[in-house]
Structure 1
């Protein structure tokens, strides 16, 4: 079911049937949420003339990603990038995508989402797992630092291995923040009362989404770069990408 191999110079586990490549994310603890230092970094970008429109809605919604708290995460496997159209078609052969230009592009699911989640032998990441994976040991706006992220961090097609590898973070994960990726957690504004481990918050209602900068590409100068930030979160409403999580395969 699994093969262990090197992908872009890093260990990886490939799900043989579907071809989905997973990376191991090591366990550890991190500060989850939008910190005051990150808010200050956005203000620095603003003062430096890096804001095209206004970041005031971002600051008004900052409480949705606070308070910052320490979260403990166990090791897990997560897909190297969101599922592509071709990979979704492994489980849903009749799947057609209205948003992707090629089978190697990120699949964005609407009516087929529940069918895919039922068919997948994997699960969705919790919000804590997603953010921990996106940060990859950093505490900055993105894994590249506190500078304004640019369109070079957006990746929506994975046919070019060199380009894919260039967007990987320290955990070997590509395109974190590019597509809006659905998480296992139900949408709850803010982290008050959230667990100190990586369990998802469950309940009725829409799920939480992370990322989404490629969903509004080409950018129109409305500060779409904010969707690339590790702490950006919002409520799922329409289409979404899926980056599944799996337990570590048993050693033979």
Structure 2
């Protein structure tokens, strides 16, 4: 069922029936949340004229991603990129997607999300796992640094292997922040009382979503780049992509 391979020059595990490629993310400790240094980096972008609309709503919602805290994460496998239309159709043969450009495009699931999660043999990442994977050892706005993200960074179709590889971070993950990706955690504003490990915060209600900058591309000048930030989080309310997590196969 699993094949150990080298994909784009990096070790990977492929779930053979579905074709989903997973990367192994090493365990470690990181500082999760929107730091004061990151807030200042956004202010610098604003002062330098890099803001097209207003970032006041972002600053007003900063508490939703605070306080910053240390979180310990155990090693895990996470999909190299969000599930594509073809990959979702492996589990849901009748799935159709009017929002994806092609079968290799990121699947955006709406009413069929629950159906997929019922049959998917993998789990959703916790928020801590997602942010740890997105940061890939960095503490900056994105894994590329504190500069203003560009729309050219977005990737939502994975047919072009060269472009997909170029979009990977240090953990070999492509498109982190491009699509809105659902996490296992229920939406709770802020991290007060959150666990010091990577367990999800469970409960009733909408789940938490990360990313989403490609879902409103081409950008209309409403500072959509803020959705690419590693710490940006919000409540799920509509369509979402899925980037599953798996247990490491036994060799």
TM value normalised by structure 2: 1.00
Aligned to 2:139: 139
TM-aligned CA deviation for residue 7 of structure 1: 0.4
After superposition, the C-alpha distances for 1:166-190 in whole angstroms (9 at most, x for unaligned) are 0100000000000000000000000
Aligned to 1:69: 69
TM-aligned CA deviation for residue 153 of structure 1: 1.2
Using the alignment, how far apart are the partners of 2:101 and 2:215 within structure 1?
13
Using the alignment, how far apart are the partners of 2:110 and 2:204 within structure 1?
18
Using the alignment, how far apart are the partners of 1:132 and 1:46 within structure 2?
26
Aligned to 2:95: 95
Using the alignment, how far apart are the partners of 1:153 and 1:140 within structure 2?
16
Deviating above 2 A after TM superposition, structure 1's stretches of 4 or more consecutive aligned residues are none
Using the alignment, how far apart are the partners of 2:6 and 2:106 within structure 1?
22
Aligned to 1:213: 213
**Structure 2 unaligned blocks of 5 or more:** none
Q: Aligned with 1:78: secondary structure?
A: strand
The total of aligned residue pairs comes to 251
TM value normalised by structure 1: 0.99
TM-aligned CA deviation for residue 222 of structure 1: 0.4
Using the alignment, how far apart are the partners of 2:152 and 2:3 within structure 1?
31
**Structure 1 unaligned blocks of 5 or more:** none
Is structure 2 residue 166 aligned with structure 1 residue 166? Answer: yes
Using the alignment, how far apart are the partners of 2:31 and 2:204 within structure 1?
27
TM-aligned CA deviation for residue 162 of structure 1: 0.3
Is structure 2 residue 240 aligned with structure 1 residue 240? Answer: yes
Using the alignment, how far apart are the partners of 1:57 and 1:177 within structure 2?
19
TM-aligned CA deviation for residue 152 of structure 1: 1.6
